Structure 1
Amino acid sequence: MQHPFPQRYFDDFTLGEEFPIPSRTMTDALFAAFQLASGDNHPSHYDVEYCRQRGMPGMQAHGFQILIQTAAGAGWFPHLVEESMRGFIEQSSQFLKPVYTGDTLTAKLTVSELTPNRSTGVIALSSQVHNQRGELVMTGVQKYLLKKRAA
């Protein structure tokens, strides 16, 4: 099958290679969609008056709502590894600053580690999310198992 993207394997990646993800503004609709999908019913994520009474400028995003901004499928990475991808095997994240309704988030994945195995390898992508003020609001790591090119 002909792929519209050139296919890459574990051996084709280099440390520091970047995969930007388009920015996204955290709208009321995205908050509602997250609440619906997650089932999270804490008022800090859907009740603006509750938040204002506690000194917040608006509804505060759940950490997972920030994390999903780093979904690799929102960028080019998974399209490049359709033939070599064996699985998404690990994820970790740290939430550094709050995110509120109206904030615009920009995410980027960067190749931070390449661990070869015999016929596969693990590629670690560091993830970063910044808000519209350039503040780092989340960091993390995603790991994927990819096939190596046939010898």
Structure 2
Amino acid sequence: MTIEIRPRGRYFEDFEVGSEFVTPARTITSTDIVNFACLTGDFNEVHTNFEYCKTTPFGEPIAHGPLIYGIMGGLTYASGINDGTLLALLQIDNWRMLNPVKHGDTIRMQSQVLEKKESSKPDRGVVTFLRKCVKQDGSVVQEMKATLMYKRRPREA
């Protein structure tokens, strides 16, 4: 007996221009910030030195921008939207850091479909999103335009 496992993600055909989705939320911890510094070797004092940060407008260490970007990817995975249907991240445009993220902030990602187009290959298509990472207070901390390639829905035999 063969058991067919179908992806829970969305196919190219499932996206409509203007549609939006919101991921689950996640709270950022000091451990996240320190672990990212260790992983990347980026020990810039604005991320790791509490005393130095008291002299900055932030008052305490802030998360690395790429850390938040990476967590946005994890939150998208947690939403299930890309599970088994995402083929590739093609491009990020206009990536902007708008507000800091600190220990204790809770973030989620909001995505809106801006555009979609068929590719030259019939089994895939390209979707462009406006992605916003939003904190618990509603402030946008990062924003970008992301272009991804998705599988097309398989034709039934």
Q: TM-score, normalised by structure 2?
A: 0.81
- Using the TM superposition, give the Cα deviation of residue 31 of structure 1 relative to its aligned residue in structure 2, in angstroms: 0.7
Alignment of 1:111-122 (within 5 A): 111-118=113-120, 119=122, 120-122=124-126
Partner of 2:21: 19
- Using the TM superposition, give the Cα deviation of residue 30 of structure 1 relative to its aligned residue in structure 2, in angstroms: 0.9
Q: Which runs of 5+ in 1 are unaligned?
A: none
Return the match for 1:134 from 106, 128, 138: 138
Return the match for 2:6 from 3, 8, 20: 3
Q: Does 2:31 align with 1:29?
A: yes
The secondary structure found in structure 1 opposite 2:68 is helix
Q: TM-score, normalised by structure 1?
A: 0.84
Distance 1:26 1:130 in 2: 12
Distance 1:53 1:12 in 2: 49
Cα distance 1:8–1:75, how it changes in 2: closer, same or farther (>3 A)?
closer
- Using the TM superposition, give the Cα deviation of residue 9 of structure 1 relative to its aligned residue in structure 2, in angstroms: 2.5
Distance 1:86 1:131 in 2: 28
In the alignment, is the contact (CA less than 8 A) between 1:63 and 1:95 conserved in 2? yes
Partner of 1:86: 87
Deviations 1:10-43 (A, max 9, x none): 1222123333222222211111121122221101
Work out the number of aligned pairs and report it: 147
Task: Give the ranges of 4+ consecutive aligned residues of structure 1 lying more than 6 Å apart after TM superposition.
Answer: none
State the percentage of identical aligned residues.
Answer: 27
Deviations 1:62-111 (A, max 9, x none): 211222232121322112xx1x4332211231111222222222212222
